[in-house]
Copies of this chain bind each other. A is one copy, B any other.
């Protein structure tokens, strides 16, 4: 009885969340410019109502009673109950006044950050960042007490279910042991290769047509989704209505295409969540590490592979042959080299697959220490510079814009998110190795533009599992205990 009441309440909760996601999409894609302030107010009210569906004493009572029903429940229902308890804690553990203050501080810090980053103005950013950090600490501390987790563990757990500081440290130490050296060797090898960048005017209509062709070939169901334009590319909407966005520039088509195919990985996960559980907590995605593993499996394991580019290069030539000034740049071998080029740089979002994890490791070590108050926030630029020189061999001294101020995550209060990117990359490599192991013709299938076998495997092992398991359990059930072996092999085989 209590369990049924919970299903009914959480169905409301997820349906309202689904509508809210459509409104976020609307805000980013179609909302007229002067409507933003009223929209923010309205979404604020909607947030209060949605939280109010869960933050109720009766929900706590039902959860307690449902525990007694457990013997009669199916495994998915038991897992659902566990997910409900987690959502209930997340919505009730933090005092609402603290929540409100943190929301305001994050909003203000994010807004100032845009200008202060442009101005390379760390000094004026510091006090706002300090407030966000302090309130985030308080909030995570309340959440951590309720869940029995340390500060950074509860930050990690918010974004990637079940991940611990220990898990991250073990994995990242393995990566630190081989990545810097690997980057040296890759750069030395790459130095000798000639790479042509396609030049010309590439009509946006043709770019859209190619994106649409490839995303549907990869399995995206366009009858339950859309492709649109926005300032920052994202995959939004909800599992019933998945909305990918990108932005086009007419002098360059590769970055928007790769962006769309990355988002297609996220989209396939959303579109293939277990249909009958998709309005319950257990039917939601398992967390951001798994979500990023799906986008990176698509982008790095499949789309960047020589086999996929052999399949896709003729399509690019068909769409752009008459628009490209240097036709040799669209030859398959050149595209493979271009799309897999490695470069050391300041900026995480521009980083290639080999150096990207170093950007993440640096951020993990810093945010863990900041939350635990191991050194004062004033020292952030200096610490950042030391670690950049250590891991990537370049300095950011006096260049905070391209250093510790480059990401929106910290002003936005999203501490504990960064590891999801690199866990995603490592999980993706291990999943793909498992797929290739079980299906020896997978590379041949990719070369022929056939993705049904890959998608069937992912649907069974990952997509259809929803939140039945925590992050690492899900990885283990799909492809064995998580490690860095497959990832290292993948990088060596692709780049050396």
Which residues of A are at the interface with B, using a C-beta cutoff of 8 A?
Answer: 11-12, 15-16, 18-19, 22-23, 26, 30-35, 38-39, 41-43, 45-46, 48-49, 53, 221-226, 238, 240-241, 279
Contacts and interface: CB of A to CB of B under 8 A. Distances in A.
Contacts of A39: 240-241
Majority secondary structure of chain A interface residues (helix, strand, loop or mixed): helix
Contact of A49 (B12, B34, B42, B222): B12
Contact of A30 (B18, B34, B48, B226): B226
A43 B19 contact: yes
Nearest to A237: B35
Given A31-B241, A38-B238, 19 more contacts: A12-B45, A15-B41, A15-B45, A15-B46, A16-B42, A16-B45, A16-B49, A18-B38, A19-B19, A19-B42, A22-B23, A22-B26, A26-B26, A30-B226, A32-B222, A32-B223, A32-B225, A34-B221, A35-B241
Contact of A46 (B11, B19, B224): B19
A275 to B, nearest CB: 10
Nearest to A34: B223
Nearest to A29: B30
Contacts of A35: 224, 240-241
7 closest pairs, A vs B, by CB? Answer: A38-B240, A35-B241, A15-B42, A34-B223, A15-B45, A34-B224, A35-B240
Contacts of A240: 35, 38-39
Contact of A16 (B46, B226, B238): B46
A5 to B, nearest CB: 15
Contacts of A53: 49
Nearest to A30: B226
Nearest to A43: B19
A495 B42 CA distance: 48
A48 to B, nearest CB: 8
A269 to B, nearest CB: 17
A46 B12 CA distance: 8
Given A12-B45, A18-B42, A39-B240, A33 B226 contact: no
A49 to B, nearest CB: 6
Contacts of A34: 221, 223-224
A63 to B, nearest CB: 21
A245 to B, nearest CB: 12
Contacts of A33: 223
19 contacts: A11-B45, A12-B45, A12-B49, A15-B41, A15-B42, A15-B45, A16-B45, A19-B43, A19-B46, A26-B26, A32-B222, A32-B225, A32-B226, A34-B223, A35-B224, A35-B241, A38-B240, A38-B241, A39-B241
Contacts of A223: 32-34
Contacts of A19: 19, 23, 42-43, 46
A56 to B, nearest CB: 13
Nearest to A278: B38
A49 B52 CA distance: 11
A15 B49 CA distance: 11
A45 B14 CA distance: 10
A183 to B, nearest CB: 42
Contacts of A12: 45, 48-49
A46 B19 CA distance: 9
